[in-house]
Structure formats: C-alpha cells, structure tokens
C-alpha cells in the first residue's frame, strides 16, 4: 500500500566541526504520514510473509561505484565526539505488554550473558542468535521494521520515540520516491510482536542520500506514533544511546533480522571489531565489520559498549556491501555509515530526538 497523502518538509542544519574543520551545511527532507490506513499486519502469518528488503534494490542504479568513491569530508581527528545517553523501559512494561499481547508471551524470556566479542578484520566475527533473550533490555529496543518494499531492522534511539534505520529502507533512490508503510515491531520474533506494532508519524533522510546515495548518508530516522493503548514505544522498550564522531576502530555488536539466517524472523547478533576501508571506498566515513548477516539486516544498529554501564550507544547502522576489495567477502563482512555530525546529528535535530 502506498502513501496516499503526505507533505514534505525541507530543513537546513548547520553542523559545526572543531579542531579547525570547516562548517558543513547538511540539509534534510522529512515526509509526514497523513494517511489514515496502513498495510494490515495484524497476524503472525502476515508479518512472517513480508520479504526482507534487498539492500541494493533501493539504492539507485548506476550510482554505486560513484557513491563508493565519494571523498570523505571530515576525518575522525577533525571532529569532537559526542553522545546521548540511553534510557530504561518502564518497570511495568512487561506486565502490561503480556496482558495486551498474550499470544506473543507464551515463551520464557530468561536472561543470559552474551558471548564475548573478538578482534578481527575482514570476514572475522562471532555470530549468535539474540532471539531467545530479545525481551531483555537493551535487546527489546531493537526490532523489525516493516515497509511497503520489504522488511528492515531498526532501533529506538531517543526518549522522544524516534527509531533509526538505513535511508535505503525509507527512500527508494531507484524509483525517486519514499517507500512508506513503516511499522516497527520491537523484540519481534517469528511473527510474534510482544510489544505490539507502532505506526510511523514522519521519516527524515539527508538530502545527500536523495542526490548522491553514498554510504555515509545511508541513515534515516522515523518518528513513531503511540500504539492503540496510547503508549509510546519507549514505555515498553526504553531507548538506546547515540554516539558520533568516534574513531573507526571500535568493539561493536551488530543486531538485526537477516533473511539469510532465520528467514528474517529471528534477531541475530554479530560481535567484531570495526575498521574503515581505503579512501577510494569511502574512507573514515564508512565502517566495515565482520558479520554473516545480509538482506533484512539493513538499518540494524551497531552498538558501542553493548550491555555496558554506561553503554549501548548506536554508532552506525547496517548499510550493505560494496566489493571484496572495499568490504570483504559477501556474507562475511558488511558496511555502514559511521555516525558523525554530518549524518545522525542533523537528522536528529530535524526529527526532534
């Protein structure tokens, strides 16, 4: 189902770097959801029937090589790092959710410790399922994003009910139009939505994504409406923090719903050390990390300080794959936009994070 009524809002945000860096002007475009109806996903069967979105399908034909070679504007040493803190869900959230969505609360949600991450480069990672404990915080702030073009992954990154995903999950550069139909199911598993589905209010991408489509611009933020019980998503999930302008070598955990593992219906997790490709492949604006996830994982968060105190900062999202020389082996390494004051900051300014 396409968006029948909408309006666009364009904004110009000034993003100021320190350490002698020039001022960068970053503009954004926002679409508001004025449609009264959305695609029906009321049953587990309907949710499981949604196919994962191919991460190259909406990126735009003929621009891939040019986008990979786009020069880096600001190096890590030119920027001052920043972050916003995460927040915990309401202590009564699980009790209320179990009453509201009883069919999705049949299985246990026991806690367990994660396996440790390992250092690595291309194709080196630790992969394991996160579905068993998906209703623990901070996992429950991560979920499956349904769209009119297929499914992606997303995470809650603000107390103002804002989620972050990949721009190619929001705006189709191949068609030159918004995708729409966004519904977020936190802690989704095999058709079950233990906290319900949240319809979208607005979505925002960088104008650079629309005009250029490079990796560093492959970020989208979506404002969510309250659910049918008038609860915001953060009541149930809390929210993850955000960090930007951190270095390219980080110990990260990537989470998402890949179609190649569990058919896009299980939350999966990879632990690896990130690195940046050569300048001809995006340089410090792009992060690579070893992981086995592919289509459907798009927009899933890469977190610094996973389950740490403090910790759980989203530092990038899954974008896709370029080549063996720029990324690594397909299905063993993927890439994403390093969060900087050129992408996540103007987007959150526009969305009111």
> Domain containing 198 — which CATH number?
2.40.10.10
Residue 228 lies in a domain: yes
Residue 90 lies in a domain: no
Residue 48 lies in a domain: yes
**pLDDT reported for residue 288:** 94
Asked if residue 6 has pLDDT above 90, the reply is: no
pLDDT tens figures, 157-195:
999 999 999 999 999 999 999 999 999 999 999 999 999
pLDDT tens figures, 107-154:
533 233 333 333 345 555 565 556 566 688 999 999 999 999 999 999
Average pLDDT of the residues in 240-257: 94
Residue burial 30-69, b: 16+ Cβ < 10 Å; e: rest: bbbbebeebeebeebeebbebebbbbbbbbbeebbeebbe
Residue 194 lies in a domain: yes
**Bigger pLDDT: 12 or 345?**
345
Can you give the residue range of the structural domain that contains 212? Answer: 6-63+117-351
Asked if residue 86 has pLDDT above 70, the reply is: yes
pLDDT tens figures, 26-54:
699 999 998 755 678 989 999 999 999 99
**pLDDT reported for residue 16:** 32
Q: Tally the C-alpha atoms within 13 A of residue 233's C-alpha that lie toward its C-beta.
A: 32
**pLDDT reported for residue 95:** 86
pLDDT tens figures, 186-231:
999 999 999 999 999 999 999 999 999 999 999 999 999 998 889 9
8 Å CB contact between 41 and 197:
yes
**pLDDT reported for residue 119:** 35
pLDDT tens figures, 200-209:
999 999 999 9
Under DSSP, is residue 47 helix (H, G, I), strand (E, B) or coil? helix
Residue 106 lies in a domain: no
Pairing of strands 241-244, 313-317: parallel
**pLDDT reported for residue 61:** 59
DSSP line for 164-199: EE-GGGTEETTTTEE----EEEET-BTTB-TT--EE
**pLDDT reported for residue 176:** 93
Number of domains in the chain: 1
**pLDDT reported for residue 243:** 94
- List, in order, residues 6 or more apart from 347 with CB less than 8 Å away: 28, 164, 204, 205, 206, 219, 220, 221, 353
Model confidence at 5, pLDDT cuts 50, 70, 90, reads: very low
Residue 22 lies in a domain: yes
Residue 343 lies in a domain: yes
**pLDDT reported for residue 14:** 38
Model confidence at 67, pLDDT cuts 50, 70, 90, reads: very low
Asked if residue 7 has pLDDT above 90, the reply is: no
**pLDDT reported for residue 19:** 29
Residue 1 lies in a domain: no
pLDDT tens figures, 281-316:
999 999 999 999 999 999 999 999 998 777 899 999
- List, in order, residues 6 or more apart from 187 with CB less than 8 Å away: 134, 135, 139, 140, 142, 143, 193, 194, 195, 237, 267
Mean pLDDT of the chain: 82
Nearest residue to 289 (alpha-carbon basis) of 250, 323, 258, 239: 250
Q: What pTM did the predictor assign? A: 0.85
């Amino acid at each position: 189902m396409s968006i029948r009524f909408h309006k666009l809002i364009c904004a110009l945000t000034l993003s100021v770097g320190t350490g002698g860096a020039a001022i960068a002007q970053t503009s954004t475009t926002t679409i508001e959801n004025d449609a009264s109806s959305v695609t029906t996903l009321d049953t587990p069967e309907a949710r499981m029937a949604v196919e994962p979105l191919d991460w190259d399908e909406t990126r735009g034909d003929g621009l891939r090589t040019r986008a990979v070679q786009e020069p880096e504007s600001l190096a890590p040493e030119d920027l001052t790092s920043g972050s916003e803190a995460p927040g915990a869900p309401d202590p009564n959230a699980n009790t209320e959710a179990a009453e509201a969505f009883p069919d999705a609360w049949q299985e246990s949600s026991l806690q367990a410790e994660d396996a440790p991450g390992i250092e690595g480069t291309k194709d080196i990672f630790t992969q394991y399922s996160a579905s068993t404990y998906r209703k623990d915080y901070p996992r429950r702030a991560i979920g499956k994003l349904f769209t009119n073009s297929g499914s992606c992954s997303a995470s809650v990154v603000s107390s103002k009910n804002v989620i972050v995903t990949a721009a190619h999950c929001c705006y189709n550069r191949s068609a030159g139009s918004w995708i729409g139909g966004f519904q977020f199911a936190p802690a989704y598993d095999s058709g079950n939505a233990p906290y319900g589905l949240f319809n979208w209010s607005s979505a925002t991408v960088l104008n650079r994504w629309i005009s250029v489509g490079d990796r560093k611009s492959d970020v989208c933020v979506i404002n969510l409406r309250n659910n049918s019980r008038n609860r915001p998503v953060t009541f149930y999930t809390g929210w993850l923090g955000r960090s930007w302008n951190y270095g390219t070598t980080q110990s990260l955990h990537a989470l998402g719903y890949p179609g190649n593992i569990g058919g896009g219906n299980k939350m999966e997790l990879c632990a690896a050390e990130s690195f940046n490709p050569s300048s001809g492949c995006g340089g410090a604006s792009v992060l690579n990390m070893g992981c086995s996830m592919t289509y459907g994982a798009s927009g899933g968060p890469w977190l610094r300080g996973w389950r740490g105190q403090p910790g759980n900062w989203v530092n990038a999202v899954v974008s896709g794959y370029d080549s063996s020389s720029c990324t690594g082996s397909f299905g063993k390494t993927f890439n994403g936009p390093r969060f900087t004051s050129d992408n996540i900051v103007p987007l959150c300014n526009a969305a009111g994070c």
